[in-house]
Amino acid sequence: MTVTLDPSNTRTLPLDGAYIRNNFPIFRNRSSKNPFTYLDSAATSQTPQQVVDAVETYYNHYNANVHRSIYAAGEEATEAYESARDKVSNFIGADDSHAIVFTRGATEAINLVAYAWGRNNLREGDEILLTEMEHHSNLVPWQLAARQTGAKLKFIPFSEDGTLENSEASFTEKTKIVSVIHQSNVFGTINPVNEIINLAKSVGAVTLIDAAQSVPHLHMDMTSLDCDFLAFSGHKMLGPTGVGVLCGRTELLEQMEPFLAGGEMIRTVSLETSTWNDVPWKFEAGTPNIAQAIGLGAAVDYLSGIGMETIHRHEAALIKYTLERLEGMDEVTVYGNPPERGGVVVFNVEGVHPHDLSQLLDRDGVAIRAGHHCAQPIMEKLGVSATARASFYLYNDFEDVNRLTEAITSSLKFIT
Partner 1 sequence: MDDLRELYQEVILDHNQNPQNFGQIEPATHSGDGYNPLCGDKLSLTLQVQDDKVTDLRFRGSGCAISKASASIMTTVVKGKKVVEVEALFGAFHSLVTTGDTDDGDLGKLAVMAGVYKYPARVKCATLAWHTLKNCLSKKDEVAKTE
Ligand X SMILES: Cc1ncc(COP(=O)(O)O)c(C=O)c1O
Question: Which partner, partner 1, ligand X, none, binds residue 106 by CB below 5 to 8 Å per kind?
Answer: ligand X
Closest by CA position to 348, among listed 363, 358, 337, 339? 358
Question: How many whole angstroms separate alpha carbon 337 and alpha carbon 17?
Answer: 25
Residues 6+ apart with CB under 8 A from 377: 132, 134, 139
Binding pattern for the stretch 241-270 against ligand X, x by CB under 6 A and - elsewhere: ---x--------------------------
Rounded to a whole number, what is the distance in angstroms from the first to the last CA of the chain?
Answer: 43
Question: Which partner, ligand X, partner 1, none, binds residue 137 by CB below 5 to 8 Å per kind?
Answer: ligand X
Q: Is residue 280 close enough to count as binding partner 1 by CB under 8 A?
A: no
Question: Which partner, partner 1, ligand X, none, binds residue 98 by CB below 5 to 8 Å per kind?
Answer: none
For residue 180, the minimal CB distance to ligand X (Å) is 10
Largest CA distance in the chain: 73
For residue 360, the minimal CB distance to ligand X (Å) is 24
Q: Which is nearer to ligand X, 189 or 277 (CB)?
A: 189
Q: DSSP character for 114?
A: I
Q: Is residue 363 close enough to count as binding partner 1 by CB under 8 A?
A: yes
Residue type, 135: H
Q: Is residue 370 close enough to count as binding partner 1 by CB under 8 A?
A: yes
Pairing assessment for the beta strands 127-131 and 152-156 based on DSSP bridges:
parallel
Question: Which partner, partner 1, ligand X, none, binds residue 371 by CB below 5 to 8 Å per kind?
Answer: partner 1
Q: DSSP character for 141?
A: H
- Among residue numbers 57 through 96, which ones bind ligand X (CB under 6 A)? none
Residue choice 29, 166, 224, 416 for contact with partner 1 (CB under 8 A) = 416
Question: How many whole angstroms separate alpha carbon 115 and alpha carbon 236?
Answer: 24
Question: Which partner, ligand X, partner 1, none, binds residue 210 by CB below 5 to 8 Å per kind?
Answer: ligand X
Q: Is 316 exposed, middle or buried (0-12, 13-18, 19+ CB in 10 A)?
A: middle
> Distances in Å between the alpha carbon of 11 and those of 1, 317, 326, 396?
16, 9, 17, 15
Q: Is residue 353 close enough to count as binding partner 1 by CB under 8 A?
A: yes
| Region near partner 1 per CB under 8 A, out of 29-37, 168-176, 285-293, 370-378 | 370-378
Question: How many whole angstroms separate alpha carbon 189 and alpha carbon 317?
Answer: 15
Q: Is residue 361 close enough to count as binding partner 1 by CB under 8 A?
A: no
Residue choice 85, 87, 98, 135 for contact with ligand X (CB under 6 A) = 135
Question: How many whole angstroms separate alpha carbon 105 and alpha carbon 138?
Answer: 12
Residue type, 287: T
For residue 384, the minimal CB distance to ligand X (Å) is 19
Q: Is residue 210 close enough to count as binding ligand X by CB under 6 A?
A: yes
For residue 361, the minimal CB distance to partner 1 (Å) is 11
Is 225 within 8 Å of 209 (Cβ atoms)?
yes
Q: Is residue 181 close enough to count as binding ligand X by CB under 6 A?
A: yes
For residue 85, the minimal CB distance to ligand X (Å) is 18
Question: How many whole angstroms separate alpha carbon 279 and alpha carbon 268?
Answer: 15
DSSP annotation string for 1-20 = ---EE-TTS--EESS-HHHH
Q: Is residue 354 close enough to count as binding partner 1 by CB under 8 A?
A: yes
Q: Is residue 213 close enough to count as binding ligand X by CB under 6 A?
A: yes
Question: Which partner, ligand X, partner 1, none, binds residue 233 by CB below 5 to 8 Å per kind?
Answer: ligand X
Residues 6+ apart with CB under 8 A from 381: 132, 158
Residue choice 4, 107, 131, 292 for contact with ligand X (CB under 6 A) = 107
Judged by CB under 8 A, the number of residues near partner 1 is 18
Residues 6+ apart with CB under 8 A from 321: 6, 11, 398, 401
Residue choice 159, 202, 385, 409 for contact with partner 1 (CB under 8 A) = 385
Strand partners, 130: 155
Element (H, E) at 364: none
Is 388 within 8 Å of 368 (Cβ atoms)?
yes
Q: Is residue 360 close enough to count as binding partner 1 by CB under 8 A?
A: yes
| Cβ-based neighbour number of residue 70 at 10 Å | 6
Question: Which partner, ligand X, partner 1, none, binds residue 386 by CB below 5 to 8 Å per kind?
Answer: partner 1
Question: Which partner, partner 1, ligand X, none, binds residue 177 by CB below 5 to 8 Å per kind?
Answer: none
Interacting residue ranges for ligand X, rule: CB under 6 A: 105-107, 135, 137-138, 181, 185, 210, 212-213, 233, 235, 244, 374
- Per CB under 8 A, residues contacting partner 1 are 352-356, 359-360, 363, 370-372, 376, 379, 385-386, 414-416
